[in-house]
Amino acid sequence: MRIFYRYAALLCITALLAACGTTQPKRHSASYKKPPANLTVGQGPNRTLAVYALKFIGTPYYFGGSSPEQGFDCSGLIQYSTKKSLNLNAPRTAAEQSAWGRNISLADIKAGDLVFFETSGQRISHSGIYLGDDFFVHAPSSGGVVRVDSLKNPYWQPRIRIIRRIQP
C-alpha cells in the first residue's frame, strides 16, 4: 500500500511541475526585444489586472512559484495578480486557467485578457496577461524574470492558442 501512495504522490508532483515548466529555446532569448519605454496599458474590462501584473517586472521565474517573495511561474503570476487586483480566485495551472472565463478572438483582445500558448507539445503550456498594443506580461522560463514581450514576436505569434476574458 505504501508503494501505491508513493506512486500517487509522484504522479501529483509531476502533474504540478508540468504546468509551466517549459524552457524556451535559445532563439527566443535572442529575439527578445525590450518593450518601448513609453509602453502604456490599453483599455479593457480587466485593465486593473494588467496594470497590477506590471509591478512584478524583473521578479525571478520560479517553477511552481506564486508570490513575489518566492518568484512566479506563468500561471502563478496570473493567479496572484488576479487575486490581488480583482479579488478573484484563479485556477492554479495554465491549462486550468485556459478554461476559465469566456473565449474571445485575437481581434477582440483587450488589456487584462489572458493569453495561452502551446510551447512544449501540450495544447496549453504557457500563459500571460495582455497589456495592449500587442504586448503581454508573463514569467517566461527558468533562469528568466517576469517581463513584457510582443505577441508579434516570431516565437510567440504562431504559438497563441486561446484568449480568455475573465469576469470580475
- Active-site residue (options: 12, 20, 28, 126): 126
What one-character DSSP code corresponds to residue 60? B
The answer to whether 20 is a known catalytic residue is no
Rg of the chain over Cα atoms, rounded to whole angstroms, equals 16
Reading the block at residue 161, the C-alpha cell is: 492558442
The answer to whether 28 is a known catalytic residue is no
Identify which of 164, 163, 118, 113 has the alpha carbon closest to the alpha carbon of residue 137.
113
What one-character DSSP code corresponds to residue 100? S
CA distance 29 to 51: 24
| CA of residue 94 relative to chain centroid, distance | 7
What are the Cα distances from residue 53, in Å, to 13, 28, 67, 101, 148? 27, 22, 12, 18, 10
Identify which of 85, 137, 131 has the alpha carbon closest to the alpha carbon of residue 111.
131
Residues recognised as catalytic: 74, 126, 138
